[in-house]
Structure 1
Amino acid sequence: MRVRLLGIGFLAPALVAVSLFFLLPVLLTAVFSFTNMSTSTGISGGEYLIIETDLRDLPAQGVSAETVVQLDAAGYAITEVGLARMAAAFGADRAQELREDYFGDTFEARRDLERLLRDLDNNPIRNTRERKAAADLFAVTIVGERYDTEAAFRDALSDTGIDPSDHDALVTAAYTGWIWTSDNFSLLFELPSTLRYALNTAFYVVCTLAFNITFGLFLAISTFYLPLKLANVFRSIWFLPRILPPVMYVLMWNWFTWDNGFIATVTGWFGVPQQNWMMQTPTHAWTVIILINGFVGASLGMILFSSAIKAIPLPMLYASEVDGANRWQQVRYIILPQMRWPILFLTCYQTLSLLTSFEYILLATDGGPGSTTEVWALAAYHTALSNYGGNLQYGLGAAFALILVVIGIVLSALYLRFFNFKELVAKPRIEQ
């Protein structure tokens, strides 16, 4: 029992870290993806508001044309609310005169009410601008008015004589807060840009992953056969992209590829017009992006594969040399067959990393030129946290991210199946 409790105690920090930094973010992403949260709705509920620009969209939301006309052409009435506003803006005497002589009267047009205000017996309003402002105080309308609760909004609908059959549709249309919905996922399959993001992501992951694994293996194998000191120097040089801050690393590539950078300067000596070798064409952009991410991933692969190669018993290599095997035959028949587990780990890790990371693309091209290098994760970031329209769509961005989580889990399961994970972690036969 004590041993079990001790084990749980040692695992507790890891369980807390996994819960806080993995499970909780995934859970919140799933929750937000089923909402329409955005900058316009906020994240803490909303009010009920209909403005004039909303009127033309109400018929499409199930509101009758008669109600739309009634909202657009609201009348005027002498009510206690209007009188209170009148007393605050134009004096209690005028408000009292209106209460005594005209309380409850209604007017279809503002000019009729303005005429009344101009002809008051004791306190007439002579100034035209002031009469218009005073008449607006008695407008009987819900357009442009904010209501904190649904009950208050429904009461206002009843007070203005709106057809009760349109109340539910108006409540739905007027609510400015977020609601639970699955429309985000429907929208993902309807947007033409979704397929482009998916294809860009597949191209980016496959090409960069192939470069990472292949070049990492090449570096590991080639430095394995070098003298130790020389091999360490080469490994240190190739490990620099991994330890450099992403901003500095991409700035170096910008200096190398931009229209005033190294490549443009050298090619200019031979009469080639200056151009941005990163952003000139989509082909240039993809080439640079794959190289930027590829060198970072290959440096990690080089370290892992070098460690795995060093774990191979040297007598196996010596015996192969005695049997006449050359370097290529040693790589093909001895080194590569024993690299399945490191390749599995790096393939899974790099796939998940490439699916969800976008910082190098953001810093290098920001999805350009146009949106030709916009990958799925970058689209989620732009949708939820940074777009040119100003309305950040948290719910739709979370739906983008949740799709990535599902794809990552599915790919991990396929990798484990493809590489026969159970056999890799099985006990050696001598221990069975």
Structure 2
Amino acid sequence: MTQLGEIQQAILTGEPAAVGSLPVPESYRGVTVHADEVGMFEGLESQDKDPRKSLHVDEVPVPALGPGEALVAVMASAINYNTVWTSIFEPIPTFKFLKKYGKLSPLAKRHDLPYHVVGSDLSGVVLRTGAGVHNWKPGDEVVAHCLNVELEGPDGHNDTMLDTEQRIWGFETNFGGLAEIALVKANQLMPKPDHLTWEEAASPGLVNSTAYRQLVSRNGADMKQGDVVLIWGASGGLGSYATQYALNGGAIPVCVVSSPEKAAICRKLGAELIIDRSAEGYKFWKSETEQDPKEWQRFGAKIRELTGGEDPDIVFEHPGRETFGASVYAARKGGTIVTCASTSGYLHQYDNRYLWMNLKRIIGSHFANYRESWEANRLIAKGLIHPTLSKTYPLEETGQAALDVHRNAHQGKVGVLALAPEEGLGVRDEEKRAKHLDAINAFRGA
């Protein structure tokens, strides 16, 4: 049996603490992109770029463990849109991030390699910890959030997201979670929710924390009871958590989706006010350069029809260019547009008269700090927020999983198994799981 096989066996037989006495292998399999292939999609439109061609499963060396760090045996991971961006080398190849990070210190130099092990989610078991790590030990079952910070300067000590050396692990750093072993900083670790399988526990990390900060935190929209919250892509990886937070927090979600099937998922979560963009036929752009304010008005009228005449207090934005003009228009006077991404394009255009004359605010929100991530994970562990996993692939088919997300041919989150040989493993509290099984499986098979 290989060294990784021995580690896997110890975990699967319910003896994770035994991994501390087992040797760490010299290499592992990781999903990578290659620096010498960054031009492979040149001349193609974004939608025509195929992650299956650029994402490889390679045997790579285990990185040296530094102070404050941990090596984790990865049981499962998940796909986020940043892995799609990495795989199609947009908006820039991630090797530029790794090169910049590598200049920071001799320790950071490890990340500047001709290959990039990707992935910003994981669930697994701590294998080893570096010097100065006190809160975690080999054998601990964990999930990881994706905030990588140095905190050597003052800027990040009020909100670690403001650290001058803030990066997203597995996107702007190497040795990410789509692999059999991952390297993280110890302050990325959180307890694995004990009622979830490995793949379920791995799936919330990035999107759950992002939605928490964007919608609930004082650093984001600071949602309160009764707020009308317009949620774009409400059944997707990010929007499905925003929908849950709105419902849990006493707000009124207005869920924007693109098919009857996605509308059905939102209803299953408990949402009642739903707009099917495809059925309504909204076309916010007349051409590549001109938007259609009449469509904004028609969209706003539909929202008021559903809410009994109220405009959104908060617009949960992430599509970006395609929807941003409509979002600024639709928010109520004094309302908030909070944005965390731009999956349809980064160059946003909107009519500023609707912003300045109606005293609206645009808030930029990016991932979450450790405290926010911990709170978001705590809600998962308590069964108050649930995973939105719809499908799981083996590590070898990560390219297909990323293609699903790239083409929006998915619901909720798409998972990836690493050392877990099959789905359904890793549950430690069956009684708690039984109470929430319908909610946990809400997106399955969607």
What is the TM-score of this pair, normalised by structure 1?
Answer: 0.22
Larger radius of gyration: 1
> Normalized per residue, which structure has more strand?
2
- Which structure has more relative contact order (CA 8 Å, sep 6+)? It is 1
TM-score by length of 2: 0.22
